[in-house]
């Protein structure tokens, strides 16, 4: 198994058999070796520094109906909210004081937030905080819209591809959504010049080693600056409410594999990982992740941005999360830095 892991690290490719072997092994020393190699790889590029992003969940209105997601339009129990521009600027102001130098505006696909409004938000945040990066995570748009946000100053864009397998994509999404459009969006974002992030949930219903292999092939082809992966966690009001969650172990293995394939990638230890295990984020960092993304949204709306159940930190102010994460990272020998945290990929 060590040979396989060394070969993946050296060649930065993976075969379907390697992937199966790594995901199915019962040999704890093999998975520890995998994590150790990935951790060293991350440290070679980023040291023991962890980048932090302030996540602002600014609207939970969504026109889509993805079967896994708690803010899907078909969920009548989702209490809808939208932050005002002033609330968003306040989040950035207090985040800046806490050392955040990247703000991630994440929301459902909400028609209220027209391109004009998004561009206005982005340019105002960049004007207030010229030394900060703005990341958008607002779903599938036309190339023209992506270009307009970029021209307004947006630096990065997160759009998980969710799965790179057509049939699996169709099990997770209603027919009006297509993998081909998802991929079109990601290629457009990259061509426009964004630091682009794709990603997927680990353990989503219908996922197999084969679909994961397709995910890795797609990620290698796209060569994104960021990859967001976290466990699938059921949300009780969705069609997948009674499905089994993804596991900590598989998520950690996939984080490590992605780190070996893309040594420079920005790889978050996600909130979902922290939700399925009390030390999930620490273990994610120790498996090769190098980013954490605490929430900056006002505590009054936290509970409502419920993509999945039992989400952590819904009652904690931004400052509490920042302190909490500082401590968590220090205890494992890492440090959160006040930095935009751009991708150190030579080609981006």
Binding site for ligand FES (CB under 6 A): 294, 313, 316, 320-321, 324-325
324 binds, among ligand FES, ligand 5AD, none (CB under 5 to 8 A by kind): ligand FES
230 touches ligand 5AD by CB under 6 A: yes
Q: Which of residues 40-99 bind ligand 5AD (CB under 6 A)?
A: 68-69
Give the residue among 292, 300, 320 at the shortest CA–CA distance from 87.
300
Phi-psi region of 168 (alpha: psi -120 to 50; beta: other; left: phi over 0): alpha
Contacts with ligand 5AD, 263-302, as mask; x by CB under 6 A: ---------x------------------------------
Which partner, ligand FES, ligand 5AD, none, binds residue 69 by CB below 5 to 8 Å per kind? ligand 5AD
CA 173 to chain centre: 19
CA dihedral 124, 127, 131, 135 (to 10 degrees): 20
Sheet with 291-292: list strands edge to edge: 291-292, 49-52, 335-337
> Which among ligand 5AD, ligand FES, none contacts residue 201 (Cβ within 5 to 8 A by kind)?
ligand 5AD
The count of other CB atoms within 10 Å of the CB of residue 11 is 11
String marking each residue 140-169 x if it binds ligand 5AD according to CB under 6 A:
--------------------x-x-------
235 binds ligand 5AD (CB under 6 A): yes
Rounded to whole angstroms, the maximal C-alpha distance in the chain is 55
Q: Which is nearer to ligand FES, 247 or 314 (CB)?
A: 314
When CB distances are held under 5 to 8 angstroms depending on the partner's kind, the choice from ligand 5AD, ligand FES, none that residue 230 binds is ligand 5AD
**Of positions 83, 201, 227, 291, contacts ligand 5AD by CB under 6 A:** 201
288 neighbors 50 (Cβ within 8 angstroms): no
Buried b (16+ CB within 10 A) or exposed e, 23-44: beeeeeebbebbbebbbebbee
Tell me how far, at minimum, the Cβ of 201 lies from ligand 5AD, in Å.
Answer: 5
Rounded to 5°, angle at Cα 342 from 338 and 343:
135
Candidates 22-30, 185-193, 231-239, 276-284; binding stretch for ligand 5AD (CB under 6 A) = 231-239
What does the alpha-carbon distance between residue 81 and residue 58 come to, in Å, rounded to a whole number? 8
Nearest approach, Cβ of residue 10 and ligand 5AD (Å): 31
Residue 212 beta carbon to ligand FES: minimum distance, rounded to whole angstroms:
28
Contact call for residues 103 and 58 (beta carbons, < 8 A): no
Residues that bind ligand 5AD (CB under 6 A): 68-69, 160, 162, 201, 230, 232-233, 235, 272, 307-308
């Amino acid at each position: 198994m060590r040979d396989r892991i060394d070969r993946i690290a050296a060649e930065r490719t993976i075969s379907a058999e390697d992937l199966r072997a790594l995901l199915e092994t019962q040999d704890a020393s093999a998975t520890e070796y995998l994590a150790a190699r990935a951790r060293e790889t991350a440290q070679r590029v980023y040291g023991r520094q962890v980048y932090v992003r302030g996540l602002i969940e600014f609207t939970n209105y969504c026109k889509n109906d993805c079967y896994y997601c708690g803010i899907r339009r078909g969920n009548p129990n989702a209490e809808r909210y939208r932050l005002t521009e002033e609330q968003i600027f306040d989040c950035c102001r207090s985040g800046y004081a806490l050392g955040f130098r990247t703000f991630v505006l994440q929301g459902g696909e909400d028609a209220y937030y027209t391109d004009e409004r998004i561009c206005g938000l982005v340019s105002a945040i960049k004007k207030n905080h010229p030394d900060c990066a703005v990341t958008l995570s607002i779903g599938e748009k036309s190339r023209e819209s992506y270009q307009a946000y970029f021209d307004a100053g947006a630096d990065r864009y997160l759009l998980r591809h969710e799965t790179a397998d057509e049939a699996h994509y169709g099990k997770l999404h209603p027919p009006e959504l297509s993998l081909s459009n998802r991929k079109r969006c990601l290629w457009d974002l990259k061509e426009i010049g964004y630091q682009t992030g794709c990603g997927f949930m680990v353990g989503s219903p219908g996922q197999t080693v084969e679909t994961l292999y397709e995910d890795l092939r797609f990620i290698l082809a796209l060569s994104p600056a960021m990859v967001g992966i976290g466990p699938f966690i059921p949300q009780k009001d969705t069609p997948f409410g009674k499905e089994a969650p993804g596991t900590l172990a598989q998520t950690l293995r996939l984080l490590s594999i992605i780190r070996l394939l893309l040594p420079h990638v920005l790889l978050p230890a996600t909130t979902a990982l922290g939700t399925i295990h009390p030390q999930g984020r620490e273990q994610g960092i120790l498996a090769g992740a190098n980013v954490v993304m605490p929430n900056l949204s006002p505590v009054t709306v936290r509970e409502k941005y419920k993509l999945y159940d039992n989400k952590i930190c819904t009652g904690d102010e931004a400052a509490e999360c920042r302190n909490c994460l500082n401590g968590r990272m220090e205890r494992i020998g890492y440090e959160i830095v006040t930095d935009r945290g751009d991708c150190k990929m030579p080609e981006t």
